[in-house]
Structure 1
Amino acid sequence: MHTLDNGLRVAVEPQPWNPGLSFTILVPVGATSDPEERLGAASMLETWLWKGAGPRGARAFADALDALGVRRQSGAGVEYTTFSASLLPEGFSAALELYADLLMRPHLPDDAFESVRALALQELAALEDQPPRKLLGRLRREAFASPHGQPVEGERETLERMTPDALREEYRRRYGAGGSVLAVSGGVDPDEVLRIAEKHLGAWSGDAPAPPAVRLTVPHRFHIDQETEQVQIGLFYKDVPPGHYDFYASRLAVAVLSGGMSSRLFTEVREKRGLVYAVSASPGSVKGFGYLTAYAGTMPERAQATLEVMEEEIERLAEGVTREELDRAKVGVRADLVLSGESSRARAGALARDLFILDRARSLEEVEAEVMDVTLERLNAFLAGRPYRDPWIGSLGTVEVGA
């Protein structure tokens, strides 16, 4: 990892066998830094930035990227916004120059603002047709007292109140090199990457806002009354943060709980009892804090039983897991690592997230070693000492569970 004079951190992972490359630019601009009166600003900015930059309008900018064969992605999230690209190595300098224009010299034109707002409002409205996503977003908001609970999509009132000048102010305040990350993976030379990064991004100035401290509410229950055929159930548990000694013990525990058709939740809640059409658990994290969420979709008459069995199975982890369960979980986690290692895009994204969350970039070999170092005794001691209890519980539908 190398830090440019302007504070931009650069990580490079060469893949000599790879004929292509990918890069990700991570900017710490997300829902956590949206002011309450401008919720959704980070998401709107990510869309608006693509409407022309540097000497090119929106169409010419897109044409320039297409001419380089760039496969691009971008998106705003809870803590940061990412801009990613995959292409052939010979086009790297030209592509990074275009992305530098996007970040440092965007047009942010008035005549594109209303279309950006319309897209944001459509995204918000789409939540009504996605009950699981709506519930889990609300669950995060109920659990966090800090801005980590703020909705990435914003709220209708704040989106409708947004003005071009207000959004430009957010761009000037929040888009800066300090705190941002450039991660590159593929068939590249690290020294050449640093030279190109300095050439195109070295003049980028400013600092992103510091991330807020995590604060939680007291665990409680809530219900969203909505006319749906099924009832959606969500649970939120505190867990260990990234970088913690037992981080991969917690990840392996989640794999035992919800790592496939032989996992505990699938077996006990769906296969044995037939309570649900969908059930899962997944780990999550923000800088300095980790959590576990569990989800189920079921019929109204089975909702209460579903909640009870889910809580029982999750709490039962404290009694320990078997050797067979741990071995199966390790195979699944290692398979995910190997497959991600084949993708330069996945590796560039992982390196960027590591630098943001851990302040260092890890190799796949280091991560795999940490996974393999988790013994059965260590995992069971972790589960006994930090049982998953007292969750935040949410439901959506015509029936409130656990009332």
Structure 2
Amino acid sequence: MAAPRAHVWTLEGGLTLAFERRPGPGFAFDLRVPVGSAHDPVGREGSAGVLEEWLYKGAGGRDARGFQDALDDLGLRRSGGVGPEATRFGVSGLGADLPAALGLVADLLRRPALPPGELPVLTDLARQDLEGLEDSPPDLLAVEARRLAFPRPPVSPFAGYAHPASGTPEGLSRLTVENLHTFFTRYGTRGSVLGVVADAEPGEVRSLVERAFAGWGPGEAGEVPADFRPGLRAHVPHGEAEQTHLSVTAPGVSPGSPDWLAWQVALTALSGGSASRLFHAVREERGLAYSVSASPVLLGGRGFLSAYAGSTPERAPETLEVLLAELARLPRGLTDAEFGRARAGLAASVVFGAESLRARAGGLTRDLAVFGRVRPVAELRASLAALTLDRVNAFLAGYDPAPAATVVTLGPGEAA
């Protein structure tokens, strides 16, 4: 069968719609609005996170219970949430309910109730979430790592990447009905992307989306720069942590680079399963850590390598040493076996990611937001098949992330 083709339109007002037809009884869509926690105003950290919760407290003439009942009556599954750079609204269900589902999400963004009485409850829940970070050292470490590696530029009006979506206690205390209403005006068609996967005629889906979101304002899209500080070390004392948790952030490859795919293969060889270098060197060979991983992170249009390990306090220094040694070994290249396994693993993830309607809808919005176009699954598979070991190793010969790595450890005692 021919691979499905994505249709992409920029609608009146600026909303970008990507649609891919798939046979079957269901649909999924993913709306990405380019306003995330990094866009929180300085001093009002938590704006995006609290606002997203507030939107679901009623819309389109329904109160919170009525809106949830409308979702449940149709058997719709909701997904999404607030990330550093965007807020996502995802829904999946049976194909006949696509028009109603689009209407419900459009109500959230065009006709929200935003009941004032709910705001104190939501800010209190956000404070509880912040308090819960203390009980989750890996999550707390991730926040501390971003705080060191990506500090807010002094001249930026945005709070940046150095806080969780729940905000900060000080920022939450400054949230008001008025300033959140002002923040809500950032939401709009400009820079927003909607990915839809369903068994329907393309023109029909376009008309549904145009009717549902007619009159949605342009909003205000703005990219928050990710100014990475290389080569730093910090330890965060945490007396209740039983382990020492380690975070390593290093330069990577930007999505628009011709080396993007080679970098993805290299990262998969580094941390892509039980045959990967980190798993073998850190866990299997030395028993230093039960959990160790590395993954790509995209912030501010740039790519970064993020690695994590959790070890005993006594063995944390050795764990960090081995982890950094594996990063330093990357410029020497991959073996033929490593390359084959990594390329096969990536190819499998491309195929399985395309099988899920929800994953594919999210893939459409991610592609447009990150790469500026939809990358057909067949094209990705062909690009992987055409990639050679020589090409990957030529890239790795000039890629040495270890010297620029910024390291944050969290746990009892002194630094690892």
For residues 189 and 149 of structure 1, the distance between their equivalents in structure 2, rounded to whole angstroms, comes to 44
* Equivalent position of 1:250 in the other structure: 263
1:321 maps to which of 328, 334, 341? 334
Provide the TM-score with structure 1 as the length reference.
Answer: 0.96
2:199 maps to which of 153, 176, 187? 187
Equivalences for 1:63-78 in 2 at 5 Å?
Answer: 63-78=69-84
Structure with higher helix content: 1
For residues 180 and 380 of structure 2, the distance between their equivalents in structure 1, rounded to whole angstroms, comes to 39
For residues 350 and 287 of structure 1, the distance between their equivalents in structure 2, rounded to whole angstroms, comes to 19
For residues 262 and 129 of structure 2, the distance between their equivalents in structure 1, rounded to whole angstroms, comes to 36
- C-alpha displacement of 1:156: 1.1
For residues 282 and 66 of structure 2, the distance between their equivalents in structure 1, rounded to whole angstroms, comes to 53
Provide the TM-score with structure 2 as the length reference.
Answer: 0.93
* Equivalent position of 2:86 in the other structure: 80
* Equivalent position of 1:375 in the other structure: 388
More displaced 10-residue stretch of structure 1: 136-145 or 385-394: 136-145
- C-alpha displacement of 1:34: 0.7
- C-alpha displacement of 1:374: 2.1
Q: Aligned pairs, how many? A: 400
Q: Is the 8 A contact 1:287 1:357 kept in 2?
A: no
Equivalences for 1:275-354 in 2 at 5 Å?
Answer: 275-354=288-367
Q: Is the 8 A contact 1:354 1:361 kept in 2?
A: yes
Give a deviation string over 1:325-363, Cα, whole Å, max 9, x none. Answer: 111111211111111111110011111111112221222
For residues 331 and 21 of structure 2, the distance between their equivalents in structure 1, rounded to whole angstroms, comes to 41
SS in structure 1 at match of 2:134? helix
1:99 aligns with 2:105: yes
- Give the counterpart letter for 1:398 in structure 2: P
- Give the counterpart letter for 1:177 in structure 2: T
- C-alpha displacement of 1:2: 0.3
1:4 aligns with 2:6: no
Equivalences for 1:387-402 in 2 at 5 Å?
Answer: 387-389=400-402, 390-401=404-415
- Give the counterpart letter for 2:324 in structure 1: E
- C-alpha displacement of 1:223: 1.0
Q: Is the 8 A contact 1:22 1:87 kept in 2?
A: yes
- C-alpha displacement of 1:237: 0.6
For residues 358 and 200 of structure 2, the distance between their equivalents in structure 1, rounded to whole angstroms, comes to 13
For residues 153 and 248 of structure 1, the distance between their equivalents in structure 2, rounded to whole angstroms, comes to 33
With over 3 angstroms needed to count, the CA separation of the structure-2 counterparts of 1:218 and 1:274, relative to structure 1, is: closer
- C-alpha displacement of 1:157: 1.3
| Structure 1: runs of 5 or more not aligned | none
Give a deviation string over 1:105-131, Cα, whole Å, max 9, x none. Answer: 101101211221122112211111111
What is the Cα-based RMSD across aligned positions, in Å? 1.4
For residues 8 and 15 of structure 1, the distance between their equivalents in structure 2, rounded to whole angstroms, comes to 22
- C-alpha displacement of 1:186: 2.7
- Give the counterpart letter for 2:101 in structure 1: A
SS in structure 2 at match of 1:338? helix
* Equivalent position of 2:215 in the other structure: 203
* Equivalent position of 1:221 in the other structure: 233
Give a deviation string over 1:297-316, Cα, whole Å, max 9, x none. Answer: 01111011111111001110
Equivalences for 1:94-173 in 2 at 5 Å?
Answer: 94-146=100-152, 147-172=160-185
- C-alpha displacement of 1:202: 2.3
For residues 132 and 260 of structure 2, the distance between their equivalents in structure 1, rounded to whole angstroms, comes to 34
For residues 221 and 291 of structure 1, the distance between their equivalents in structure 2, rounded to whole angstroms, comes to 17
For residues 401 and 306 of structure 1, the distance between their equivalents in structure 2, rounded to whole angstroms, comes to 13
- C-alpha displacement of 1:98: 1.1
- Give the counterpart letter for 1:186 in structure 2: A
